[in-house]
Structure formats: structure tokens, C-alpha cells
Amino acid sequence: MNVPSRSPKFYAGLSIATSFATIALKGGAYWVTGSVGLLSDAIEAFVNIAAAMVAFAALHYAEAAPDREHNFGHEKAQYFSSGLEGALIFVAAGAIVWTAVPRLMAPQPIEQAGLGIALAVAAAILNALCAWLMLKAAREHRSITLEADAKHLLSDVWTTAGVVAGVLLVQATGVAIIDPLVAIAVAIQVLWTGAMLVFRSFEGLMDRSMPEADIAKISAVLDTLRENGCDYHALRTRQSGSRAFIDVHVLVPGKTSVQDGHDLVERLENDIVRELHHAEVLIHLEPIEDPKSWDDPAQPLAGA
């Protein structure tokens, strides 16, 4: 099944709707069982709603066209969204521990486990379907915001699986303390997910280079220069949300006319963009005979 070519905001809206549905299901599961593990699962669903709303707002801002204050667009808003989502996950983990610790001191039996498990499983299926669609859309739109939200929902699926296993263990063994222990284990897993999202956002805000596979495609295009007595150096790339920026110095014989140089640069740019549709390319043309042309402005000067 192919994902329809819809706006990234459509999938953020789908995530919001799914989160509201799962809150109702998980809240009902806690209500009928009294399980603190299922309560921890419901608490994380509230974070899912907040995260999905932030994602929707970030995607709306990121799709705005470049303007005088933001010449390169607004794509980096997506990194703030995924970073904030990671921070919200930390809050959820703290709330889960807060509810679980008292049950460690005074464990309570679980009631109507069968109905509670059925509700929790239904919520997990909804989250899994939504996450699957969002991951496909994230690849299509190269959106870290959709990817972060989808991975958050997937972590929620595994969380629910762990909680359900805990409830079943309590029913099988009669050891009620398993329930709050599972809740605390859920909090630890949630913290890991949040930390990974924050790290990924930090990397994006630090202008991380494009993936090695994409750089290899760029190099394959530029390597054709050497077949005609030209060359290149100082290749630099950076990723900004769903867009990428490429900067490179191309060296040609000094006798090359302005028109020929322009035609060469235009061909290279078109060939690169044909391979990487999301990229913007800036090429600096230099005479190959001049030793200064081989200087890399990104490298510090001697003695600096």
C-alpha cells in the first residue's frame, strides 16, 4: 500500500486524533483494572497529544516560504519540535515514577484484567497503524518531525506491550508488586526514547552534514569534471529539516569563457538536483592554474 502524497500536517493531525482515541482507551483500561502500569501508559498518551500538537505547529511554520529575515527558509523549526517532544517525554517519565512509587510501598490487586488488556491492546494497534503511516510519510517528505512523532508512537506500542505483560504476570502469580515495577521499567524506556530525540535535534541544529549515501551521489557527479581537465574541492553539505544545502568549489582552466563556465555550473547543479531533489547547490568557479584556488576557506590559516 502506498502512502498518498499528502501534506506533512495531515499526518500530524492524524497523530493528534489517534492520541485522543488512545487516551480514551488507556484511561478506560486503568479505570477498570486499577493497574498503575496501565495508568503510566495512559499518562504517556497525554504526552503524545502535546507532542503531536507541537509537531503540527512546527510543520506549519516550517513550510513557510523563505523571506527577508529567513533567507534559507524555516525548516529548522522541525528540530525544535522533535527536541521539545523529547523534553515532554522526560516529564511523562517523571509522572510515571511519581504514580508508581506509592504502589511499591502498598501494592494493590488488579481487577477485570481481561477487559483492561483488551482496551490497551486496541490502543496499541491504533498507535502502530498511525506510526506506520507516519514513517512512510517521513521518508517521503524527509521530515524529522514526522519521524520523531512516529518513533514516539512506536515506543508507546512497546510500552503498552510491556504493561500488558506485567498485568498478565500479576494475574498469573498473584504478586501485585510486579505492576509498579513494570511501570518504572516503562519510565526508563520512555526516558531513553526522549534522550534519543533530544540528541537527534541537537545534531540537526548543529548543521550536520548530509548522509554518506547522499554525499557519494554528489561526488559521483563532480568526479566527471576530471574527465575534461577540471576538478573540484571544498565540498561541504548541511541538512536543514527536509532541505539540504551543498557548497563546492569547481576548478576550470583559466581560459574558460564566462558563458562556458556558466553552462558547466548549470549542468552540474541540474545533475546533482536530479539525484537529490531536496538539495540546493551553490558552486564557486575558480581557475585551476592559480594555487590560491586550492585554498579551502573552511580550514584555518597557518598559525591561526
**Where among 171, 205, 239 does a domain terminate?**
205
Residues 195 and 46 in one domain: yes
Q: Which amino acid is at 8?
A: P
pLDDT in tens, 140-178: 887 777 887 887 788 778 778 877 887 788 878 888 888
User: Among the listed ranges 43-47, 83-87, 107-111, 226-230, which one has the minimum average pLDDT value?
Assistant: 107-111
User: CATH code at 145?
Assistant: 1.20.1510.10
Residue 122 pLDDT grade (very low, low, confident, very high; cuts 50, 70, 90): very high
User: CA-to-CA distance for 85 and 109, rounded, in angstroms?
Assistant: 34
Provide mean pLDDT across the span 129-140: 89
Residues 26 and 105 in one domain: yes
Residues 50 and 172 in one domain: yes
Q: What is the DSSP string of 75-128?
A: TTHHHHHHHHHHHHHHHHHHHHHHHHHHHHHS-----SHHHHHHHHHHHHHHHH
Higher-confidence position of 103 and 243: 243
Residues 201 and 226 in one domain: no
- For residue 222, the model assigns a pLDDT of 93
Which residues share a beta bridge with 233? 249
Residues 222 and 99 in one domain: no
Tell me the three state secondary structure of residue 71.
coil
Residues 44 and 162 in one domain: yes
Residues 191 and 261 in one domain: no
Cell of 162: 510491556
Residue 234 pLDDT grade (very low, low, confident, very high; cuts 50, 70, 90): confident
Is the pTM for the entire model greater than 0.75?
A: no
**Where among 165, 182, 205 does a domain terminate?**
205
Q: Does any domain span residue 75?
A: yes
With contact defined as beta carbons under 8 Å apart, do 233 and 215 qualify? no
Range of the domain at 225: 212-294
Using alpha carbons, select from 12, 28, 78, 21 the residue that is nearest to residue 45: 21
Residues 6+ apart with CB under 8 A from 212: none
Residues 249 and 178 in one domain: no
With contact defined as beta carbons under 8 Å apart, do 38 and 163 qualify? yes
Residue 90 scores a pLDDT above 70: yes
pLDDT in tens, 246-266: 999 999 998 889 999 999 999
- For residue 68, the model assigns a pLDDT of 77
Total count of domains within the chain: 2
- For residue 264, the model assigns a pLDDT of 92
User: In which element (H, E) is residue 265 found?
Assistant: helix 258-275
- In our burial notation (b when 16+ CB lie closer than 10 A, e otherwise), range 106-124 reads ebeebeebeebbbbbebbb
Residues 123 and 17 in one domain: yes
Q: Does any domain span residue 110?
A: yes
Tell me the three state secondary structure of residue 240.
strand
Q: Does any domain span residue 300?
A: no
Which residues share a beta bridge with 248? 283
Provide mean pLDDT across the span 100-127: 80
Beta pairing class for 279-287 and 243-252: parallel
Q: Does any domain span residue 230?
A: yes
User: CATH code at 221?
Assistant: 3.30.70.1350
Cell of 125: 494497534
- For residue 300, the model assigns a pLDDT of 45
- For residue 1, the model assigns a pLDDT of 42
Strand order in the sheet with 279-287: 231-240, 243-252, 279-287
Cell of 215: 554525499
Residues 58 and 165 in one domain: yes
Which residues share a beta bridge with 247? 236, 282
Q: Does any domain span residue 48?
A: yes
Residue 18 scores a pLDDT above 50: yes
- For residue 159, the model assigns a pLDDT of 75
- The count of other CB atoms within 10 Å of the CB of residue 95 is 18
User: Among the listed ranges 136-150, 179-193, 283-297, which one has the minimum average pLDDT value?
Assistant: 179-193
Residue 3 scores a pLDDT above 90: no
Cell of 68: 527577508
Burial of 270 (0-12, 13-18, 19+ CB in 10 A): exposed
Residues 90 and 236 in one domain: no
Residue 271 pLDDT grade (very low, low, confident, very high; cuts 50, 70, 90): very high
- For residue 302, the model assigns a pLDDT of 39
**Where among 160, 189, 205 does a domain terminate?**
205
Q: Does any domain span residue 253?
A: yes
Q: Which amino acid is at 211?
A: P
Q: Does any domain span residue 196?
A: yes
